[in-house]
Amino acid sequence: MIDADRKKLDNIINKYDGKEGFLIQLLLDLQSELHWISKETIRELSLRLKIPASQIFRVASFYKAMNLSPVGRHKVCVCMGTACQVRGAQRLLDTTESKLGIKSGQTTPDNSFTLNRVNCLGCCAIGPVIVVDDDYHGRVDSKKVEKILGRLASDS
């Protein structure tokens, strides 16, 4: 664990010192700060909090909001719900995978992008939809995807 991450971990642990029932929130705080929860972080938490590593892993792996592998600086989600599917979501996913050079569920080697497919984003009226860094883009086609990703790649 690098020193900067250890300092962040220390600050988060200290925030919950003496409190009970804090593990989920502590993990969410770590996720927010470090962007993922490594095995090394789980081992360190286990030692410091005197909680079995298996228990920490069980909690972290249960919640979809917690990542146990590195994620990119930009998070891209393609909605694959029925309304988006009939409006071309598969083409969007194919274009996105091709543009990024990764498959859904993967992160680019430079940790710039993580791509995921989701079952429904609840934006059926504006489908197909992609979400990039919490920004929703509706009625998207392949050209718009390339433009959005191109803009982000040039910012990185």
Domain ranges of the chain: 3-62, 74-155
Question: How much is the average pLDDT of 52-71?
Answer: 92
- Return contacts of 49-52, CB within 8 angstroms, 24+ apart: 49/13, 49/23, 51/23
* CATH C-level class of 74-155: alpha beta
Backbone φ, ψ for residue 74 (5° rounding): -110, 130
Residue 65's pLDDT band (cuts 50, 70, 90):
confident
CB 100 within 8 A of CB 67: no
Residue 156's pLDDT band (cuts 50, 70, 90):
low
pTM above 0.85, yes or no: no
